[in-house]
Structure 1
Amino acid sequence: MTTGAGSSFGTTCWWGFSPALDLQRECLESSMAHLCLSQDDLPELNILLVGSVDGRHVLRTMSQAHRWPQRRINFYIVENNLEVLGRQLLFLSLALESPEKMGLQEKSEMFLELLGNSLIRSPTAAYLQEKSDLFIRYVTDPDFQQRHLGAVDLSALKFKERDQLESIFRFWRNPDPQAFPIARLWDLRVRQYLGTRYDARRGVCDWDLTMKLHERGARTIGGREFSRWRDTGVAFELREGVYHIPNKTLASGRLLRHKGELVPSRGYWGDIGTGPFLPFGIQSEEPSLLKTINGIPAKSAQEISLYNVTSLFHELAARAPFPPPPPIPEGASGAALAQESPAPNPDPDLQDHKAACPEHVRIHFLPLGCTARLPCKSQYHQHFHLLFFSCSMVHALTPELQLVSAPRATLITGVAAGICPQGYADH
């Protein structure tokens, strides 16, 4: 499996390589026929997500749950590193902020910044610091967490993992930009990948975009936005503000060998090959966004991403589809796709940060890499009606998992669901 630091995909996956899915739509009718009733007499749909990374499937399934017969949905999430788990908690918390605390446009822009930008604006950095304080309370005080984010269940995490999560959130809270010098780390990452081709990086960038992304269906990704992201790590410039503060959620740790000894090091070990455009920027329910003019997409991946995320957050709060966008004059900013709304007004009192939890949805975070142990636990016997394995975690899909699959369960793999990087597909 060629996904080391020297490859373009890195060793830490920060965003998915497939578009966000409504998992109720993907679940086979035969799977739905075998749903059991929960204690409140609702059909119960249990979904196992292994390596979904950014929570995009959870968010879309939650936002579109009103389109389907009412069910109790349980998500069980397994990842292979705690930084990714922490980011999913951040995205869920952001998505569930009440409209009174944060407007729709600000929420959508902040989500995309934190998802895929190496550098973020000052308001986004302030929000991240504020949430880091809250998350530290979550992992150290389960009762507090249940009162304020009751849709999430962290009880299955080991105490060691909780301690490590607390350290991660403390690092996110650190205001010192030199704690994570992402501009230098990004350049080192690009140099490591390109090697002797570094001086020809413009040509390599065009080749990667055309031959690795456009040829696999991601034609909405434009050359200018892809080149900007490859050079700086900034994928979404949604405001005219200054993007100058390192996005510490993209930091992860590794053990590096130095003078014969393994030394812990924190850096950027993620993707520089595809970019964060695939989860929300290459497909849409709104067909006007996917039109082409003379064979060239009329909208960029950034514009499509902003509309899709805005639509998702609107539907999550309003339980109604987002109205289609009006015709936008040529040259208008992508931000015009989102509705104007007031900027967030964070309250320093943690007790007031109560998220609007969706009804009949429960999100369980399981211990790292625990898929091999699930068949040994009786509570998971024939439990999951849908199983999703990302292309980076498909090696964890073993025959023993039939024991935890419900009769006629649905299986989705990242290899089939989206643009699978060659290194992962080779596993």
Structure 2
Amino acid sequence: MIAAGSGNGFGTTAWWGFSPALDLQAACLETSVERLQASQEGIPSLNILLVGSIDGRHILKTMCQAHRWPRRKINFYVLENNLETVGRQLLFLSLALEPSEKRGLQEKSEMFLELMGNTLLRSQTAAYLQEKANLFIRYVTDSDFQQAHLPTVDMSALKFKERDHLERIFQFWRNPDPQAFPIKHLWDLRLRQYLGTRYDARRGVCDWDLTMKLQERGAKAINLREFFRWRDTGVAFDTREATYEIPNKTLASGRLLRHKGEPMPARGYWGDIATGPFITFGIETEESSLLKTINGVPSKSAQEIALYNLTALLYELRYNTRYVPSESSGEESHGSDFRDDSRVHSRLDVSSGPPPTEDVRIYFLPLNCLPELHHKEKYQKLFNIIFFSCSMVHFLKPNLNLMSAPKATLIVELTNFLPDLRNEHVSAFSSQVTNLAREAGFLTVEATEKTTFSLFQLGDQKVGETHNEMPPPASTAPGP
């Protein structure tokens, strides 16, 4: 569906999503809780299939905001097309579930953004990555150890060769040699190949792509300073006045290149150099003060919004209540003004240890197994919500109907935030998605060029009215 090569901005390995994080319970269109399958404890179960969600953002937001909804068992089934993204999701989930006494909210949020979107890391973050890589090697080689230390995650469905590959990935992560992944050189090579003769005018190209593409399509919070910094160096988030100099090895992946007519494996940076990681958490927020403009210019950057959003999510995960900025910071709250969790820990009477996630289970499925998944009885009529990324839409086939629960919701990421695509290509992609969904038995609920997603529901007739926003995640909004 999307031509992905080293010569375009999209690349061949996606490291972050091209749409904002969703609370999937808010996005679910099913209004009858009775339709949900009950678990052994008698609690309704919501089963969610994520095809190419890439960075785990939907898992994080849905898990963190679960307290806003009636209690349910939420089962995520994660299907990716490469194991590097599986490893990164394991890293992000592990970081989010760190005990608060070991790592505070602000440190978690900053480290999350750094690992997700920066080519270069601070020394503290690089040390954390090495530590986790050693732990993850034990996870993939000893399932009992993994279940004892991270019971929220289930990797039992992965094939043995995939576990072996994951182990090699984690071994590379813990390699302290910076020359093992010379990202500065690799980034510049990708940029030169992408821009060609426009390389020396890259700031002007950057300005055009941001103003005429990304901001016009809804990413108004991204400013030129942070966007050009990322385009030029690969560093999207510099939340601390520190030195970012150690290669982020989680952004390394392999591909086959032709050398003298023979395919040769090569490790490098084959990811996005056009859009950036700002879209996932940095362009939407519930805190309206962060979206204010001054003379038509946003008062806060995408980095500030992303940092606030992650802090708020991790706070909700920890304390099961909504996050409120400190009163002293008022509308100017950002960065170090965020309320630290240690100041409210005693008031909320929360025990120490990792955040409570006993109602959440995350299953990693074998790579590209979707075409065969409907043959397994346990997956038939199982999924209440199905999400497809724009890079994985080619897997949207009629057999999806066999795995979908009655009135299942289908959410498909559109290509609005791919600056390489013209408006007519974005529109054509949306139409193609609608046709694929229709062939699978899903009917349009929401599909406009102004939205980031297309929504569909399994059924025989159109459900509801077309709207431009997700249902608000409040008690007045219908639950799944």
TM-score, normalized by length of structure 2? Answer: 0.83
CA–CA separation in structure 1 for the residues paired with 2:180 and 2:271: 18
Stretch of structure 1 that moved more, 1-10 or 320-329: 320-329
CA-atom RMSD in angstroms: 1.9
CA–CA separation in structure 2 for the residues paired with 1:223 and 1:16: 20
CA deviation vs aligned residue, 1:336-375 (integer Å, no higher than 9, x gap): 2433579xxxxxxxxxxx8545121100000001111111
- Which residue in the other structure is 2:417 paired with? 419
Shift of 1:261: 0.9
- Which residue in the other structure is 1:351 paired with? none
Conserved 8 A contact 1:104-1:338: no
- Which residue in the other structure is 2:336 paired with? 336
The code of the aligned residue for 1:276 comes to P
Q: How is 1:315-326 mapped onto 2 (pairs within 5 angstroms)?
A: 315-324=316-325, 326=327
Conserved 8 A contact 1:221-1:277: yes
CA–CA separation in structure 2 for the residues paired with 1:119 and 1:333: 27
The code of the aligned residue for 1:369 comes to N
Conserved 8 A contact 1:281-1:303: yes
Q: SS of the residue aligned with 2:390?
A: coil
CA–CA separation in structure 1 for the residues paired with 2:236 and 2:337: 17
CA–CA separation in structure 2 for the residues paired with 1:355 and 1:183: 36
Shift of 1:217: 0.6
The code of the aligned residue for 1:321 comes to R
Conserved 8 A contact 1:42-1:72: yes
CA–CA separation in structure 1 for the residues paired with 2:163 and 2:43: 32
Stretch of structure 1 that moved more, 332-341 or 270-279: 332-341
CA–CA separation in structure 1 for the residues paired with 2:292 and 2:81: 38
Q: Does 1:91 align with 2:89?
A: no
Shift of 1:4: 1.0
CA–CA separation in structure 2 for the residues paired with 1:241 and 1:149: 31
The code of the aligned residue for 2:383 comes to F
- Which residue in the other structure is 1:283 paired with? 284
Q: SS of the residue aligned with 1:138?
A: helix
Q: SS of the residue aligned with 1:388?
A: strand
Give unmatched runs, 5+ long, in structure 1: 343-353
CA deviation vs aligned residue, 1:214-246 (integer Å, no higher than 9, x gap): 110101000000000001000000001110000
- Which residue in the other structure is 2:26 paired with? 25
Shift of 1:176: 0.4
Q: SS of the residue aligned with 1:215?
A: coil
The code of the aligned residue for 1:364 comes to Y
TM-score, normalized by length of structure 1? Answer: 0.93
- Which residue in the other structure is 2:64 paired with? 63
Q: Does 1:208 align with 2:213?
A: no
1:325–1:288 distance in 2 versus 1, CA, 3 Å: farther
CA deviation vs aligned residue, 1:253-304 (integer Å, no higher than 9, x gap): 0010011111110000000111100000000011111111111001000000
The code of the aligned residue for 1:114 comes to L
Conserved 8 A contact 2:95-2:108: yes
CA deviation vs aligned residue, 1:154-186 (integer Å, no higher than 9, x gap): 000000000000000000000000000000000
- Which residue in the other structure is 2:469 paired with? none
Shift of 1:333: 9.1
Residue correspondences, number: 414
CA–CA separation in structure 1 for the residues paired with 2:341 and 2:30: 40
CA–CA separation in structure 2 for the residues paired with 1:218 and 1:253: 31
Q: How is 1:277-316 mapped onto 2 (pairs within 5 angstroms)?
A: 277-316=278-317
The code of the aligned residue for 1:399 comes to P
Conserved 8 A contact 2:45-2:75: yes
Conserved 8 A contact 2:30-2:408: no
Q: SS of the residue aligned with 2:258?
A: strand
Q: Does 1:126 align with 2:127?
A: yes
CA–CA separation in structure 2 for the residues paired with 1:273 and 1:360: 38
The code of the aligned residue for 2:288 comes to P
Shift of 1:103: 0.9
CA–CA separation in structure 2 for the residues paired with 1:415 and 1:275: 16
Q: SS of the residue aligned with 1:411?
A: strand
Give unmatched runs, 5+ long, in structure 2: 343-352, 433-480
- Which residue in the other structure is 2:398 paired with? 399
Q: How is 1:122-201 mapped onto 2 (pairs within 5 angstroms)?
A: 122-201=123-202
Q: Does 1:6 align with 2:7?
A: yes
The code of the aligned residue for 1:361 comes to V
Q: SS of the residue aligned with 1:376?
A: coil
CA–CA separation in structure 2 for the residues paired with 1:260 and 1:393: 29
Shift of 1:421: 5.8
CA–CA separation in structure 1 for the residues paired with 2:55 and 2:409: 21
CA–CA separation in structure 1 for the residues paired with 2:55 and 2:27: 18
CA–CA separation in structure 2 for the residues paired with 1:333 and 1:315: 18
CA–CA separation in structure 1 for the residues paired with 2:341 and 2:75: 32
Shift of 1:29: 2.8
Conserved 8 A contact 2:274-2:420: no
Q: SS of the residue aligned with 1:205?
A: helix
CA–CA separation in structure 2 for the residues paired with 1:372 and 1:30: 29
1:255–1:31 distance in 2 versus 1, CA, 3 Å: farther
CA–CA separation in structure 1 for the residues paired with 2:341 and 2:44: 37
The code of the aligned residue for 1:335 comes to G
The code of the aligned residue for 1:403 comes to L
CA–CA separation in structure 2 for the residues paired with 1:118 and 1:334: 24
The code of the aligned residue for 2:124 comes to P
CA–CA separation in structure 1 for the residues paired with 2:158 and 2:391: 22
Conserved 8 A contact 1:106-1:341: no
The code of the aligned residue for 1:102 comes to R
CA–CA separation in structure 2 for the residues paired with 1:420 and 1:361: 32
- Which residue in the other structure is 1:390 paired with? 389
The code of the aligned residue for 1:257 comes to R
CA deviation vs aligned residue, 1:116-153 (integer Å, no higher than 9, x gap): 00001000000000000000000000000000000100
The code of the aligned residue for 2:48 comes to I
Conserved 8 A contact 1:389-1:412: yes
Conserved 8 A contact 1:93-1:355: no
Q: SS of the residue aligned with 1:234?
A: coil
1:298–1:88 distance in 2 versus 1, CA, 3 Å: same
Q: SS of the residue aligned with 1:367?
A: coil
CA–CA separation in structure 1 for the residues paired with 2:369 and 2:32: 24
